Chain A
Amino acid sequence: DTGVSQNPRHKITKRGQNVTFRCDPISEHNRLYWYRQTLGQGPEFLTYFQNEAQLEKSRLLSDRFSAERPKGSFSTLEIQRTEQGDSAMYLCASSLEGARPQHFGDGTRLSIL
């Protein structure tokens, strides 16, 4: 069990640029989740995949955000035309199917200049 891996750990970019984050889940986990955490708050759900199918999306996931999990393994989260309000920690989690615990990666911290 190598844990959930996220890259990069930190991303600094200028407003208006596009950014992409990657998440590699625990290998046998077929469910993958993205959350966002702003300073002083708990994580908030963004979206969820079972295998390659995106099954649930939060209202937080505006049309500038897109997530993919093309082969049911790793996932990418892209933010287009970044805004100041996108500055946050983006967390990925994975789990087995069923009522099972979610395991989180160390996150990608995004800072918008």
Chain B
Amino acid sequence: GIQVEQSPPDLILQEGANSTLRCNFSDSVNNLQWFHQNPWGQLINLFYIPSGTKQNGRLSATTVATERYSLLYISSSQTTDSGVYFCAVNPMDTGRRALTFGSGTRLQVQP
């Protein structure tokens, strides 16, 4: 099956700093989503981005489908950004609908 690798596995930032999270995947995809799982376990949709670039406030994401990677940018980080960020993909042309998740990047933003 498709492989999804996220880096870095852990990240500690001071409030106000910027960061870039990376997601590499092994096959072509027709769905790529970024999620934030907060400390209460809620999985929050950030972006649906199988290709291209999107921005939402302090967050933006870029997926380069031909090179099989996606980047999530967090600018001016806040303590509320803490949690685990997951990338999840659905492979193209398999008929499968399940998302395959990476192992996540655990982000801690310190005041």
Residues of A in contact with B (beta carbons under 8 Å apart): 31, 33, 35, 41-45, 48, 50, 55-56, 58, 89, 91, 93, 99-104, 106-107, 109
Contact = CB atoms under 8 A, between A and B. Distances in A.
Contacts of A102: 31, 33, 99
Given A41-B103, A43-B101, A45-B100, A106 B42 contact: yes
Interface stretch (B13-21, B43-51, B59-67, B73-81): B43-51
B97 A101 contact: no
Contacts of A93: 99
B3 interface: no
B103 A101 contact: no
Contact of A42 (B90, B98, B103): B103
A56 B98 contact: yes
B86 interface: yes
Size class of B's contact patch? 20 to 34
Interface of B: 30-31, 33, 35, 41-43, 45, 48, 50, 86, 88, 90, 96-104
Contact of B41 (A31, A35, A42, A106): A106
